[in-house]
């Protein structure tokens, strides 16, 4: 069984596309992915939230994560805007607390938010409410998040590469190939 940092480096280097940019960022990535995978394994549901420019990516993730070809248990991933279509209408802390109450009742094993989008988007109010959330933030350095730049001409490719690495990490842990302990 391999440690997460070493396993991540091997997975990056095995990738045939240009994924070398991730080698220097794996130290930021490891604690974030460790927390997300542990929560999933503990039975928490993932509430996927994206800004408008990343809606396509949310659909991609939801179509990929539970494919039969993964040969693993199905995982509890949901797009929050599909569960709560009025998400964009939440205006204040009280509204967000009401949504959190709904989610706590609906998902008794717990949930966390996986937010992918700009740091100044209104959805970050929800995403930043818990340190347990999995944050892929665009254009703003926020503690406990993975930073992307919307000016990067390879942003979409990098998002797809990162999802693939995340998915491989999940599978490796589920199949006992990976030790998530530090």
Q: What would the pLDDT profile of 43-52 be if each residue is shown by its tens digit?
A: 999 999 999 9
Q: How far apart are CA 48 and CA 107, in angstroms?
A: 14
Which band of pLDDT confidence, cut at 50, 70 and 90, is reported for residue 15? confident
b/e sequence 6-21, b meaning 16+ C-beta within 10 Å: ebbeebbeeeeeebee
Q: How far apart are CA 109 and CA 121, in angstroms?
A: 28
Residue-range definition of the domain harbouring residue 82: 2-179
SS3 state of residue 166: helix
Count up the domains in the chain and report the number: 1
pTM assigned to the model:
0.93
Residue among 62, 51, 46 nearest 134 (CA): 46
pLDDT digits (tens, 9 = 90+) for 51-98: 999 999 999 999 999 999 999 999 999 999 999 999 999 989 999 999
∠ CA 175-160-130, nearest 5°, is: 75
Residue among 32, 69, 3, 46 nearest 162 (CA): 32
């Amino acid at each position: 069984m391999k440690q997460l940092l070493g396993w991540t480096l091997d997975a990056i280097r095995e990738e045939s596309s240009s994924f070398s940019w991730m080698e220097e960022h794996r130290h930021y990535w490891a604690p974030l992915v460790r927390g997300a995978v542990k929560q999933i394994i503990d039975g928490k549901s993932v509430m996927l939230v994206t800004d408008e420019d990343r809606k396509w990516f949310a659909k991609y993730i939801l179509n990929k994560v539970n494919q039969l070809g993964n040969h693993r248990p199905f995982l509890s991933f949901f797009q929050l805007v599909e569960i709560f279509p009025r998400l964009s209408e939440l205006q204040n802390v009280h509204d967000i607390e009401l949504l959190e109450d709904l989610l706590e009742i609906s998902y008794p094993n717990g949930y966390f938010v996986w937010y992918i989008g700009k740091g100044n988007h209104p959805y970050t109010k929800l995403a930043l409410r818990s340190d347990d959330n999995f944050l892929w933030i665009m254009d703003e350095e926020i503690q406990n998040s993975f930073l992307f730049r919307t000016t990067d001409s390879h942003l979409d490719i990098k998002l797809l590469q990162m999802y693939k690495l995340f998915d491989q990490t999940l599978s490796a842990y589920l199949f006992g190939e990976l030790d998530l302990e530090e």
